[in-house]
Structure 1
Amino acid sequence: MGQAGQLPLRERNKQRTVQRIIDAAFELFQTTGYHQTTMDAIAEKAEVSRATLFNYFPAKREILVPLTNILYRERVQPEIQACLQMQPTTLQALHRLFLSIYTHILTFPDLYRALQEGSSHQEKAHSTLSAGIGFSESLLAILRSGQSRGEVRTDIPLEKLAQYTGAIYLSLFFPPRERQAEVTLHAEYHADIEAVLAFLETALSPGAVATSENNNQEER
């Protein structure tokens, strides 16, 4: 019997196995590329059987969620926390967040492509970018800071504002772009986030509330 609060041995062994698989995939994706890495290669490097690998990750795409989680937690989140300590405007903080995601996650070998692999994978790609990686928490922190300075509207619950903002950002990835040179993708991504920020500047502004109320009165 383990100590109080300690996970059972079986569960700890499971976690170690999963971590070995993720670490192996992480290294192979970096050195070989996502598309060039096979499940057999991951199993061999992680020193697990093929059956064990598929038991934890039925498809290579499934590894993207914990991988993205690691990249976000270790590289993006510290940048955003440091950025917020400098008291940037809401748009400046969102700009830093979107650029940091691109720099530390989307430029990881083949990851951008993997997230755009066909319309049938849109739901999976959305969950990869948004679930469990702290993205929502970062948006909440940025928008909460903006509200404290009167830069962000308060007529909509903060959680909903973060949800809407995240959905607009994630929409940049769909429909998937045709295969292009990375330099082109880089330029298009930067242009896209500038357009998104221009839209959010109006959508998040407290002035949007007054404009909406005036329009409603005119319609009556």
Structure 2
Amino acid sequence: MTKDREGQEAELPLRERKKRATRQRISDVATGLFLTGGFDEVTVAEVARAADVSAMTVFNYFPRKEDLFLDRIPQAIELFTQAVRERGPGQSPLAALRGLALGLLDQRHPLSAVDDDFPAFWRIVLASPALRARAREGVEDLEHALARTFAGTGSGFADPELAAALTVAAYRSVYATTARRLLAGEPAAALADDHGARVDAAFDALERALG
């Protein structure tokens, strides 16, 4: 968690902070179980017992089992749309998103893909058709949310839906390339500079394509 995000959390009402802490604890417990036991083999009831909550509580926070493991989808949507909504005066949406992507890399945030823990996570995803399907849905959810944000914030794009689709596809391409190289055994430290260069190249291409 970044310092800015820690500050935002501290400003939340106590009840909301407790809810977020409970959600994170359930997700952390579930991730540990899935990594050791396999996603399809571990049940929601087992997650609930390990987290010392009821199965109903688990589903209150995570409507689907897949969301226990792919719990960063809502955060990705929040970060990308917030970057556009809260961009500085005179800053373009693409410049704001480029800054976000490079900032995620600097933090070695899971959404940047540059982390040596990454391969274990994605091997679980690749082994589960249900998780792969949910990951694809998450990309679509991000694209739709970004299109709505472009349309509602005076982005200047003639076609916000096209702009969102191209932006998400460009970032996904950079992310997927880094993921494949990590899964092939390359260390994250050796990939960081190249990942950053590919982020810049992707946004340079978007600037040319979208003006």
Paired residues of 1:24 and 1:42 also in contact (CA < 8 A): no
**Shift in Å, 1:190:** 1.1
Alignment match of 2:174 (pick from 172, 175, 180): 172
Q: Structure 1 residue 190 and structure 2 residue 196: aligned?
A: yes
Cα 1:130–1:42 change in 2 (3 A) is: farther
Corresponding position of 1:69: 74
**Shift in Å, 1:200:** 1.0
**In structure 2, distance between residues paired with 1:112 and 1:194:** 24
**In structure 1, distance between residues paired with 2:152 and 2:189:** 29
**In structure 1, distance between residues paired with 2:90 and 2:120:** 34
**In structure 1, distance between residues paired with 2:119 and 2:89:** 30
**Shift in Å, 1:70:** 4.1
1:196 alignment partner, SS class: helix
Corresponding position of 1:97: 100
Alignment match of 1:128 (pick from 138, 145, 149): 138
**Shift in Å, 1:100:** 4.4
When the two structures are superposed, what TM-score results if normalisation uses the length of structure 2? 0.56
**Shift in Å, 1:188:** 3.3
Paired residues of 2:83 and 2:97 also in contact (CA < 8 A): no
- Number of equivalences: 175
Pairing of 1:1-220 with structure 2 (within 5 A)? 22-28=23-29, 35-36=35-36, 39=42, 40=46, 43-48=49-54, 59=65, 61-70=66-75, 73=78, 78=82, 80-82=84-86, 84-102=87-105, 103=107, 104-106=109-111, 110=117, 114-115=121-122, 117-118=125-126, 123-131=133-141, 136=146, 140=150, 144-145=154-155, 147=156, 154=158, 157-174=159-176, 176-177=179-180, 178-205=184-211
**Shift in Å, 1:203:** 0.7
2:35 alignment partner, SS class: coil
Show CA shifts across 1:55-114 (max 9, x none): x6775x4324444314653x66555544x1333234421212323455444269746763
1:174 alignment partner, SS class: helix
Q: Unaligned 5+ residue runs, structure 1?
A: 1-17, 206-220
Show CA shifts across 1:128-147 (max 9, x none): 345269851586269843x2
Give, as a single letter, the amino acid of the residue that structure 1 aligns with 2:68. I
**In structure 2, distance between residues paired with 1:197 and 1:130:** 20
Show CA shifts across 1:113-170 (max 9, x none): 635744966553233345269851586269843x2xxxx5x3xx22222122212222
RMSD between aligned alpha carbons?
4.6
Paired residues of 2:84 and 2:97 also in contact (CA < 8 A): no
**In structure 1, distance between residues paired with 2:208 and 2:89:** 23
When the two structures are superposed, what TM-score results if normalisation uses the length of structure 1? 0.54
